[in-house]
Amino acid sequence: MSNYIFISNKKRFESLSFSEDEKSKLILTSNLKTDIGLKVDYNKLINKIPLVEDNSGMMLIKLLIDLGKTEVYLAGLDGYSHDLYDNFIDPDFAFLKNNNIMDKMNIGINKLIKNYSKNIKINFITTENYIRSTT
């Protein structure tokens, strides 16, 4: 059961269906054209690091910082594996990348986590396999 569901990706949003109860728990970025859920400004949540500028996990951490939250617990944010199908529970969401790009994405996420951790305590409750926590 989720308190809220954050979605910033159009393909992911369109692939899901929501109950009436879940619709009231949606937090959607403004790039998603729908009139359900709470809307947040997509452009205020993206970052300037290439390849991860619109990473949904990083966007959510930024939103929580903007909302004044002081601590976050993360599960499943473990970075990108060179084995493409390890990265997504649904193979339809796997996108073609090469190992060099995957490594750069992990470096970008590491930089953001280090930067964001200056403003919010970040706790990993699952093992981060390809990125590093700051603790």
Please report the pLDDT score of residue 87 as a whole number: 67
- pLDDT 10s digit of each residue in the chain, 135 long? 678 999 999 988 998 999 999 999 999 999 999 999 999 999 999 999 999 999 999 999 999 999 999 999 998 887 777 776 676 666 666 665 688 888 899 999 999 999 999 999 999 998 777 676 554
Alpha carbon 56 to its chain's center: 3
Please report the pLDDT score of residue 135 as a whole number: 47
Helices first, then strands: H and E counts in the chain: 5, 5
Neighbour tally for 40: CB within 10 Å? 19
Please report the pLDDT score of residue 82 as a whole number: 75
pTM above 0.75, yes or no: yes
**Which residues partner with 6 through β-bridges?**
27
Please report the pLDDT score of residue 1 as a whole number: 63
